[in-house]
C-alpha cells in the first residue's frame, strides 16, 4: 500500500487518539531510563501480560513511547552525576558531566532533551519516507561492513587518550581484555571465567556500567566529602538557563540533524546497539569540529551528538523488525512477541496485510516525541537541582539504586558483587587519571568486534582480504583512515602555525 497524504493523516489522527496509552508510557520510560540497570525490554517483559491484554495499536503505542522516553532520559543521570542510565548514554558523560561541574547542568539537560526529541522526530519522519530503501540497507550491511563501523567507535579510545596517550591506550586495552572474558565465538571455550558460570556469556553490561561509573563516582564523592574538597559548582535554577540551552540547540541544529541520521543508519543494522551509534557520533562530531580540543571539557556538541544519535537509533531498530521480520534489538523482539500473539506476522507481507500497523508504528513514534516536548522541557529546570543535594544523602541513594539495578538485569547476586568490584576498579582508574570511558568502550565494543570479525573470516575461509571484498566496506575503510589521519594532520598543522 502506498502511503498517501490521506492515509498518513488518518494514521496521525488514530495515533493522537491513543494519548491515554502514550502518556503513561512516556512517564514510565522517563523513570526507568533514569535508573541504571532498568532497561526498557525488562520493563516490557514485566508488563507483558498487560500489553497482551490491550488492543494491538494501544499496546504498540504504549511500548513505543516507553522505549523512546527511556532513550531520552538515560542522559539525565549521565549529565548530573556522571552515571549513564543506559549504555547509549555513556558517551554523554564525557562532556555532559563537565558542563555540570562548570555550573551548566540546566543547559546540558536542555541540550540533551532537545537533541533527543529532535533526533527522534527527524528520523521517525525520515523512516516514513524512506522505509523501502532503509529496509534494503539492513540487508546490504553485513559482517564485513560491521567490522569497520565498530572500528569507528573503537577509535574513540585514541581520541580520549590524546592528553595521555600511554594511559589512554592502557585503559582501552584493559577494556578489550575484559571484553574477551566468556566463551569464545567459534569453539565456545571458556576464557578467563575462573570457573564462574555467570561469566560464560561474557561480562554482563549492566554491572560493569554501574560499577565503572555509578559506584566509582559515589566513592569519589565520599572522598571529597571527608577531605573537604569543594563540591561541583552549582547555582539556583533559572528559566534563563533553559532559554540559553535552547539557543545553543538552534546554534548547533546541523549537528543534531546529521548525527540523528548517523544513529538511524546504525540502528537499521540488526544487532547494532545505541552505544555503537553514540560513540561513533561523538567520534565523528569531534573529527569534523573546528575546535576538537574543546571536547571533553564541557563542549555543547559533545552532549548533542551522542544524544541525537542515541534517539535516532529508536526508529532504526524497528525498520528491520517491520520490513524483514528480524528484530533490530531486544526491545523490538518484545514488540514482535506482542504482535505475534495478536496474530500479526511482521515482514514484507505486513505492508499488504496490515499497512496501518506497518506504517502506524513510526507514526506513533513521531506522536510520542511530539508529546514529550511539553513534558520534558520543564523537567530540565527541576532535575538540575539534583546537584545541590548534600553528598551524605545522594551517595547512599546512588549505591542502593545501582546495586539493585545490577541485580535486576539478570537477577544474580553475583552481578551485585561484580558491580562493587568494578566500582573499585573505576575508583582506582579515576584517581590514577585513567579514562574509565576508554575501559567501557573496550568492554562494550570488543566482544561485538570479535564476533563480526570471526564471522567475516569464516565467510572468507580465513582470508583476511575478505574485509576488503565489499565496495561499501572499502568506502568505510577509506573514511576510517581519514578519521584517524585527519586529527593527526590537523594537530601538526596547528603546531607548525603556533611555532
Average pLDDT of the residues in 449-460: 88
Q: How far apart are CA 226 and CA 329, in angstroms?
A: 44
Over residues 395-449, the pLDDT tens digits come to: 888 888 888 888 877 888 999 999 999 999 999 998 888 888 888 888 888 888 8
Q: Look at strands 182-183 and 190-191 and give their pairing.
A: antiparallel
- Across the range 329-355, mean pLDDT stands at 77
Mean pLDDT of 192-198: 86
pTM above 0.85, yes or no: no
Percentage of the chain modeled with pLDDT above 70:
94
Average pLDDT over residues 472-497: 82
CA distance 92 to 102: 16
Res 3: pLDDT:
67
pLDDT at 25: 92
Residue 1 has pLDDT above 70, yes or no: no
Q: Compute the mean pLDDT over every residue in the chain, rounded to the nearest whole number.
A: 84
At 204-246, the pLDDT tens digits run 888 898 888 888 888 888 887 766 555 554 555 677 778 888 9
**pLDDT tier, 247 (very low <50, low <70, confident <90, very high otherwise):** very high
- In the prediction, which pLDDT does 163 show? 66
pLDDT band at 161 (very low <50, low <70, confident <90, very high): low
The cell numbers describing 451, all together, are 564476533
Dihedral in degrees, nearest 10, Cα atoms 400, 406, 408, 413: -100
Q: Which residues, in sequence order, are CB contacts of 381 under 8 Å at separation 6+?
A: 106, 237, 238, 239, 241, 242
255 contacts 311 by C-beta, under 8 angstroms:
no
Of the listed ranges 17-26, 70-79, 257-266, 345-354, the one predicted with least confidence = 345-354
Q: Which three cell numbers stand for residue 302?
A: 559533545
pLDDT-based confidence at residue 306 (cuts at 50, 70, 90): very high
pLDDT computed for residue 229 by the predictor? 53
What mean pLDDT do residues 293-298 have? Answer: 88
| Average pLDDT rounded to a whole number, residues 100-124 | 92
Provide the pLDDT for residue 237. 60
What pLDDT is stored for residue 139 in this prediction? 66
Q: Residue 203: pLDDT above 70?
A: yes
Q: Is 44 exposed, middle or buried (0-12, 13-18, 19+ CB in 10 A)?
A: buried
pLDDT tier for residue 165 given thresholds of 50, 70 and 90: confident
Per-residue pLDDT of 19-68, as tens digits, reads: 999 999 999 989 888 877 677 777 887 787 788 888 888 989 999 999 99
Q: Which of 34-48, 121-135, 238-252, 358-372 has the lowest mean pLDDT?
A: 34-48
Amino acid at each position: 500500500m502506498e502511503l498517501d497524504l490521506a492515509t498518513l493523516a488518518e494514521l496521525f489522527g488514530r495515533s493522537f487518539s491513543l494519548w491515554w496509552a502514550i502518556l503513561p508510557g512516556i512517564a514510565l520510560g522517563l523513570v526507568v531510563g533514569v535508573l541504571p540497570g532498568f532497561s526498557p525490554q525488562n520493563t516490557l517483559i514485566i508488563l507483558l501480560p498487560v500489553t497482551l491484554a490491550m488492543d494491538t495499536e494501544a499496546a504498540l503505542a504504549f511500548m513505543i513511547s516507553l522505549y523512546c522516553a527511556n532513550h531520552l532520559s538515560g542522559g539525565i543521570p549521565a549529565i548530573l552525576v556522571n552515571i549513564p542510565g543506559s549504555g547509549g548514554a555513556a558517551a554523554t558523560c564525557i562532556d555532559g558531566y563537565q558542563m555540570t561541574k562548570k555550573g551548566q547542568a540546566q543547559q546540558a539537560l536542555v541540550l540533551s532533551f532537545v537533541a533527543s526529541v529532535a533526533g527522534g522526530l527527524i528520523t521517525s519522519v525520515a523512516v516514513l519516507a524512506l522505509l523501502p530503501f532503509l529496509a534494503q540497507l539492513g540487508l546490504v550491511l553485513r559482517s564485513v561492513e560491521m567490522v569497520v563501523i565498530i572500528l569507528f567507535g573503537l577509535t574513540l579510545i585514541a581520541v580520549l587518550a590524546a592528553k595521555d596517550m600511554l594511559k589512554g591506550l592502557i585503559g582501552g586495552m584493559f577494556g578489550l581484555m575484559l571484553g574477551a572474558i566468556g566463551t569464545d565465538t567459534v569453539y565456545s571455550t571458556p576464557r578467563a571465567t575462573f570457573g564462574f558460570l555467570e561469566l560464560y556469556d561474557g561480562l554482563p553490561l549492566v554491572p560493569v556500567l554501574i560499577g565503572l561509573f555509578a559506584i566509582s563516582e559515589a566513592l569519589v564523592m565520599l572522598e571529597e566529602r571527608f577531605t573537604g574538597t569543594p563540591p561541583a559548582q552549582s547555582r539556583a535554577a533559572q528559566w534563563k538557563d533553559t532559554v540559553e540551552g535552547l539557543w545553543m540547540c538552534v546554534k548547533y541544529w546541523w549537528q543534531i540533524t546529521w548525527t540523528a541520521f548517523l544513529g538511524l543508519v546504525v540502528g537499521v543494522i540488526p544487532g547494532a546497539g545505541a552505544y555503537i551509534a553514540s560513540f561513533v557520533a561523538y567520534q565523528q562530531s569531534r573529527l569534523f569540529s573546528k575546535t576538537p580540543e574543546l571536547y571533553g571539557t564541557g563542549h555543547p556538541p559533545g552532549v548533542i551528538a551522542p544524544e541525537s544519535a542515541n534517539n535516532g537509533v529508536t526508529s532504526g531498530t524497528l525498520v528491520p523488525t517491520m520490513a524483514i521480520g528480524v528484530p533490530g534489538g531486544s526491545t523490538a523482539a518484545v514488540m514482535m512477541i506482542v504482535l505475534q500473539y495478536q496474530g500479526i506476522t511482521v515482514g514484507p507481507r505486513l505492508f499488504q496485510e496490515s499497512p496501518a500497523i506497518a506504517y502506524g508504528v513510526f507514526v506513533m513514534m513521531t506522536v510520542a516525541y511530539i508529546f514529550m516536548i511539553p513534558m520534558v522541557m520543564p523537567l530540565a529546570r527541576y532535575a538540575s537541582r539534583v546537584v545541590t543535594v548534600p553528598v551524605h544523602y545522594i551517595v547512599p541513594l546512588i549505591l542502593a539504586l545501582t546495586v539493585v539495578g545490577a541485580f535486576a538485569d539478570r537477577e544474580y547476586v553475583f552481578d551485585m558483587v561484580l558491580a562493587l568490584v568494578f566500582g573499585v576498579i573505576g575508583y582506582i582508574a579515576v584517581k590514577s587519571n585513567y579514562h574509565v570511558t576508554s575501559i567501557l568502550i573496550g568492554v562494550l565494543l570488543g566482544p561485538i568486534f570479535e564476533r563480526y570479525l570471526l564471522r567475516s573470516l569464516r565467510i572468507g575461509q580465513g582470508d583476511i582480504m575478505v574485509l576488503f571484498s565489499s565496495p561499501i566496506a572499502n568506502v568505510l575503510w577509506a573514511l576510517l583512515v581519514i578519521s584517524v589521519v585527519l586529527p593527526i594532520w590537523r594537530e601538526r598543522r596547528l603546531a607548525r602555525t603556533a611555532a
